[in-house]
Amino acid sequence: AQSVSQHNHHVILSEAASLELGCNYSYGGTVNLFWYVQYPGQHLQLLLKYFSGDPLVKGIKGFEAEFIKSKFSFNLRKPSVQWSDTAEYFCAAHSSGGYQKVTFGTGTKLQVIP
């Protein structure tokens, strides 16, 4: 069955610390991968996406993610977090062909301490 796993449920960092959030997926065939962010009290917004090509994807607000096919991973990174990055982050995936059901991970809450 298709699944997306996020192993970090709650992460607390100080401002300027580096961030890496893990995401592993279980899909057969070609997969499209996403990171969405949900700021407190808001809806989900797309942070970045990977379909094909360069496995290092850059998104908004200095975030990037690396697709490593051999590890079935799509980890999110940011070299220096800010207080405004406090949010919940969701990894998501869907197959690239046919009906594209999106599967979400359970989310990681990031708290950045000033």
Partner 1 sequence: EAQVTQNPRYLITVTGKKLTVTCSQNMNHEYMSWYRQDPGLGLRQIYYSMNVEVTDKGDVPEGYKVSRKEKRNFPLILESPSPNQTSLYFCASRASGGRELFFGEGSRLTVL
The residues binding partner 1 (CB under 8 A) are 6, 9, 32, 34, 36, 42-46, 49, 51, 90, 92, 94, 99-102, 104-107
SS (H, E, C) 62-75: HCEEEEEHHHCEEE
**Nearer of residues 17 and 109 to partner 1, judged by Cβ:** 109
Closer CB to partner 1, 17 or 86, in the complex: 86
13 Rama sector, left if φ>0, alpha if ψ -120 to 50, beta otherwise: beta
14 Cβ contact list (under 8 Å, min separation 6): 112, 113
From the CB of 49, what's the least distance to partner 1, in Å? 6
- Considering the complex, what minimum distance in angstroms separates the CB of residue 15 from partner 1? 26
- Neighbouring CB atoms inside 10 A of 24's CB total 18
Three-state DSSP class for residue 43? coil
Q: How far is the CB of 79 from partner 1 (least distance, A)?
A: 25
CB closer to partner 1, 63 vs 90: 90
Q: Least separation, in Å, of the C-beta of 14 and partner 1?
A: 25
